[in-house]
Amino acid sequence: MSAAAEAVAGESPAHAFRIALVGNPNCGKTALFNALTGARQKVANYPGVTVERKEGHITTPEGRQVSVLDLPGTYSLRARSPDEVVTRDAVLGRLAGEAAPDVLVCVADSTSLRLVLRLMVELKAVGRPIVLALNMFDIAQRQGIDIDVARLSKELGVPVVTTVATRKRGLEDLLAQVDRLMAADLVAPADDPGVWHEPSVAEIRAAHRQAERTLKDCVKPPARPDTLTGKLDAVLLNPVGGILILLAILFVMFQAVFSLARPAGDLITEGLSQASTYVTASMPSTGWIGLLRSLINDGIINGVGSVIAFLPQILVLFLFIIVLEDFGYMARAAFLLDRLMGAAGLHGRAFIPLLSSHACAIPGIMSARVIDNRRDRLTTILVAPLATCSARIPIYTLIIGAFVPAKTVWGFASLQGLVMFGLYAAGITSALIVAFVIRRLFWRGSAEPFLMQLPDYKVPDAMNVARGVWQRGEIFLKRAGTTILSMMILIWFLSTVPLAPAGATGPAIDYSFAGMIGHTLEPLLRPIGFNWQISVALIPGMAAREVAVGALGTVYSVSGEGSALGGVLAHQWSLATALALLAWYVFAPQCMSTLAVVRRETNSLKWPLIMFGYMLALAYAAAFVVYHVAVALGG
Amino acid sequence: MNPPSETNSLAEARKGDRGLVVQVGGEAYAGAGGVDAAEIERRLLEIGFVEGARFEILHEGLFGRDPIGVRLDDLTVALRRREAAQVRVRFVHEAAVAAAEAPAPLPDEAAA
Ligand SMILES: Nc1nc2c(ncn2[C@@H]2O[C@H](COP(=O)(O)OP(=O)(O)OP(=O)(O)O)[C@@H](O)[C@H]2O)c(=O)[nH]1
Ligand SMILES: [Mg+2]
């Protein structure tokens, strides 16, 4: 003990120790990482949530500065997919500019130890001190799984602690063991490559037998096995019933986006128009102050505000997604849709990236890292932005609200919700079709095998859900306050300057830069039914989809059309134009960050360019067809 | 220990079938997305399909009864029948599985 204290005293405080959390997918590594470091990384009940390495910092009870690494889950250090490569390289110290971890914390799902005990055999070959954290110990206790911790520790030759990451239990024990190992000078020099090598099939089998023996010696099977998962799956994975339930869940979700969020959204809109009235009343309309008033009213309240009004819709959508993720439904949905995805030439696991893309294409594209095969992964990445991301919600809701009557059909469904559902269906269907075309025309051949663990269901943790929804809200507001606000100020500026000459007859915006740009572009976009105001909104809309809504708000407001954007559009646009714009938005590549992430993930400029090109072509074609069909039908 | 009996491919198993895994890998495999026979054997092993493991077919998909959900000892794994063809199993009746499940006497207990 005193030796330990001395060792600590002898170290310079700047020297950071490193520990890494490794283990099978979905065993609670990120939950443990969050509990240890206070981080807020995404935790959810399906394998393959974490696809990057994340670093956090803590101080141990003995005062060591320790950096903690959260890593993607894996069954082996063999590393088949890009996310697993990260884990292997971090564990073996192969990452550039990063020493190997001093201590490996092997995280285990206590209810299912077989595979992690096999992984332990590989981890031991790395030659680093290991602590085994039996996580989800609460569930093991509930099920009456009897684990002889002392014996397990003796047989494995490593300290073993029990943890409940979601309740922050067992963290002191874990850190005490980490301290002990660090003090005991067991830590090998950081550049020691270890003796790990890729295990052969014979070695994998031998490791399995070893794990099996350890299990027999130390773990008694559950006295009260989990029956909830079996009962629920009998219904939710029923071949026919399961698919109907999946459709019903999606249907309810999009209905809710409209009906649940409506009142809150209306309240925000109402508040904004009050604010606008107040600003108009309290500031003069001429001179510099008049310009400032116009900036506040037209640029900020009508621009940024019209985007913020969609916050409730986005929160409702995320509430649904996060509850489903936490509950453990995602892996089931992947199971149910595997054949469909397979028919489109997509990997079964592509379902999760595609579903995540409904929140935002960026995490969706990143989660394609769990797909090992490069072509499968590229196909998934290329079609991911076709999924209806939450940034499309403002424009969809705006147009639906203005052009689709708020009627109830079949006695229970809102017509607006149905149109929304249709747009989502259009997004996912087009993703499948594009994938099919890619796999048939360019990359023929079967997609790689689908092998996925189906985790047990868990009752969603209210705190985790609330935190997740809150976090999404924060991200949205932050975007509104940064990207969108700055674009709005720019658009306001372009729409106001140069000022209309004295004695001008038309609205001032006709004389501004924005008016000039819009009128220049109009001929290009007229064939698809877009007027010059839409042309003005689409350019800044390339930065982020929501910007277009704000830009329309500003453009129409500067042109003096009044402030309730939906009402203005209903008067100004034909139904055909509105439908064409919806069709455009299903496909258009209007998001710089997505293209940047594709560039990073594929490490080339070629793929983002291909993505931009094909999406733009599809958008133009779809809007063209929709516009002309609608006009022909009398829209 | 077990009486010699016929083995089947896991790919032919139907919902409710249960038994023991007798062999993983070694069947003809056309390969898929860059995964060859040797690789699929390793992946199956790593996710818990190993000789001696107990299994039960819990779920079947709608189209062509594919994919399948398999209970494997203490976890549930989803896979396509195409890959399941790499796993040979022996179907065992419920009672016989229970007998096979009975834990061998622990060394400690044997000594006591
Ligand atoms: N009851 C209980 N649930 C837990 C515990 N630790 C984690 N969970 C839940 O288990 C699920 C998986 O947790 P994650 O932290 O995302 O797992 P992970 O190991 O990081 O998963 P990957 O990143 O996919 O490898 C989540 O639903 C957590 O809420 C625990 O100790 N007790
Ligand atoms: Mg994780």
Give the CA distances from residue A106 to residues A27, A44, A140, A391, in Å, rounded to whole numbers and listed in that order. 10, 19, 17, 38
Which tens digits make up the pLDDT trace of A242-269?
999 998 998 888 778 777 877 887 888 7
Spell out the residues 6+ positions from residue A104 whose beta carbon is closer than 8 angstroms to its own: A19, A20, A22, A91, A123, A126, A128, A129, A130, A131
- Measure the CA–CA gap between A29 and A22, rounded to whole angstroms: 7
Burial B1-13, CB ≥16 within 10 A → b, else e: eeeeeeebebbeb
pLDDT for A347 beyond 50: yes
A17-23 and A65-70 strand pairing: parallel
Q: Quick one: how far is CA A297 from the chain centroid?
A: 33
CATH architecture of A6-220: 3-Layer(aba) Sandwich (3.40)
Cβ contacts of B62 on chain A, cutoff 8 Å: 239-240, 242-243, 336, 339
pLDDT range class, residue A7, cuts 50, 70, 90:
very low
Ligand 1 probe mutation, A54, A138, A143, A166, most atoms within 8 A of CB: A166
With a 6 A CB cut-off, is A47 part of the ligand 1 pocket?
yes
pLDDT for A15 beyond 70: no
Joined together, the tokens standing for residue A465 give 């859900």
Chain A CB within 8 Å of residue B26 CB: no
Cβ contacts of A80 on chain B, cutoff 8 Å: 39, 43
The residues pairing with A3 across neighbouring beta strands, listed in sequence order, are: none
Q: What whole-number percentage of chain A has pLDDT above 70?
A: 94
Chain A CB within 8 Å of residue B15 CB: no
A22 alpha carbon, closest ligand: 1
Distance from the A2 Cα atom to the nearest Cα atom in chain B, whole angstroms: 37
Q: Higher-confidence residue: A241 or A446?
A: A241
Which atom of ligand 1 is least distant from the CA of A25? Answer: 25
pTM for this predicted structure: 0.86
For chain A, the structural domain boundaries read 6-220
Per-residue pLDDT in tens (0 to 9) along chain B, 112 residues: 444 468 999 999 999 999 999 999 888 887 776 788 888 999 999 999 999 999 999 999 988 898 999 999 889 999 999 899 999 999 987 655 555 555 544 444 444 3
DSSP assigned state of B35: B
Which tens digits make up the pLDDT trace of A176-204?
999 999 887 655 554 555 678 889 999 99
Give me the sign of the Cα torsion angle A116, A121, A127, A132: positive
Are A205 and B25 within 8 A, CB to CB?
no
DSSP secondary structure string for all residues of A163-175: -BGGGTBSHHHHH
With a 6 A CB cut-off, is A388 part of the ligand 1 pocket?
no
Task: Identify the pLDDT of residue B98.
Answer: 54
Which residues in chain B (27-66) have CB-CB distances under 8 A to chain A? 30, 32-35, 38-48, 50-52, 58-66
pLDDT range class, residue A558, cuts 50, 70, 90:
low
For chains A and B, count residue pairs whose Cβ atoms are closer than 8 Å: 135
Are A338 and B80 within 8 A, CB to CB?
yes
Q: What whole-number percentage of chain A has pLDDT above 90?
A: 47
Which residues in chain A (140-159) have CB-CB distances under 8 A to chain B? none
Which of A117, A198, A228, A451 to probe by mutation at the B interface, max B CB count within 10 Å? A451
Q: Which of A8-17, A435-444, A539-548, B81-90 has the lowest mean pLDDT?
A: A8-17
Give the CA distances from residue B35 to residues A81, A82, A414, in Å, rounded to whole numbers and listed in that order. 12, 15, 47
Are A454 and B69 within 8 A, CB to CB?
yes
With a 6 A CB cut-off, is A34 part of the ligand 1 pocket?
no
Residue with tokens 């969706």: A364
Chain B CB within 8 Å of residue A268 CB: no
Please tell me the distance between residue A164's alpha carbon and the centre of ligand 1 in angstroms. Answer: 10
Note the ipTM here: 0.83
Please tell me the distance between residue A36's alpha carbon and the centre of ligand 1 in angstroms. Answer: 14
Are B61 and A449 within 8 A, CB to CB?
no
Domains of chain B (ranges; CATH) run 7-111 (2.30.30.90)
Distance from the B54 Cα atom to the nearest Cα atom in chain A, whole angstroms: 12
- Measure the CA–CA gap between A625 and A580, rounded to whole angstroms: 8
